[in-house]
Amino acid sequence: MNFKPQILQKRLLFRAPFLLVLFGNLWIWRIFSTNFLVGLAATFSSFFLYKSIRTQKVENLLIVFLLILFISQFKNTKIFPLTYLNEQERVIQLQRLNEHPPVKLSLGSKIIWIPTAHWLEGRREILIIYRIQENLKNVLSPNLYFFANHPNERVGIKEYDKFPYILFPFFVIGLLNLKFRKNISLGILFLAPIILVAILGDKVDTEPVSLFPFMTITCVNGIEYAQGNISKLKSPNLKKAVISIFILIYVLVLAQTAYYNFS
């Protein structure tokens, strides 16, 4: 008689970190308020990604919902060529070109000038590399997700803490403990939104929503790793105390973040 309730309780306890992170952040509610269908896609893609990592098998529905997020992000991104430079960037490029000392090669009485400045600053390949680095730097910064992008706030954009900052250490732990040895396809799916941002750029009106499932699951992975260590404690009361304190702090931080960003 007690078997099924115990199994159900264990399942709910195991999925609690996933539900807490998935709905306990400002980003998912901002996505829902902007586009309800995209919010559903972000929710279900997070669920199927979570399930895929647990089973080490890529769910077909995961690809479907991720494609919806990719399409939404593509439609809301101001796309510029990777070699495009605005006026400020052109000024910076010119300064860099002038900073390089002239390089010459003397062959007897003949002097050959080597355009190292152009090779390092002006070639299309170099510009593409610089642009990809800039795109990734702007979007992959943890500050963008946990600390309202401070101190790199963008002009004309309302920055906010997408995830409670209490999740940052768990994000780092989860990132270090992600394993794709059994399924390379999962690793490719994790890289896909990063590649999308690198190519399309970071000028996204609705934020890089394709990264939401991966940020969420990485945080969940970190919490579950910590949860596994907590489960090794011998005292049941100590286990409950640690979990209760974490949930209490999480809720307080989330409330503080919501008040600070939307008051």
pLDDT the model gives residue 9: 43
More confident call, 9 vs 18: 18
Smallest CA-to-CA distance from 256 within 154, 160, 127, 141 is with 160
Residue 87 has pLDDT above 80, yes or no: no
Share of the chain above pLDDT 90, in %: 33
Three-state secondary-structure class, residue 106: strand
Mean pLDDT score, 233-257: 89
Whether the CB-CB separation of 20 and 250 falls below 8 Å is answered with: yes
Residue 205 has pLDDT above 80, yes or no: no
Antiparallel, parallel or unpaired: β 110-114 and 103-107? antiparallel
Residue type (1 letter), 184: I
* Tens digit of each residue's pLDDT (9 = 90 or more) over 156-198: 677 788 999 999 999 999 988 887 666 677 778 888 888 888 8
How many Cβ atoms from other residues are within 10 Å of residue 128's Cβ? 14
Q: Angle, to 10 degrees, between the axis of helix 26-34 and the axis of helix 236-262?
A: 50
pLDDT the model gives residue 8: 41
When pLDDT is cut at 50, 70 and 90, the band that residue 129 belongs to is confident
Mean pLDDT score, 88-92: 70
Residue 88 has pLDDT above 60, yes or no: yes
Share of the chain above pLDDT 70, in %: 78
Instruction: List the chain domain ranges.
Output: 11-84+124-262
More confident call, 195 vs 105: 195
More confident call, 89 vs 40: 40
pLDDT the model gives residue 122: 64
**CB neighbour list of residue 145: distance below 8 Å, 6 or more residues apart:** 27, 161, 162, 163, 171, 215
Whether the CB-CB separation of 58 and 52 falls below 8 Å is answered with: yes
Mean pLDDT score, 105-123: 66
pLDDT the model gives residue 12: 45
Residue 1 has pLDDT above 70, yes or no: no
Average pLDDT, the chain: 81
pLDDT the model gives residue 254: 92
More confident call, 251 vs 236: 251
* Tens digit of each residue's pLDDT (9 = 90 or more) over 132-142: 888 888 888 88
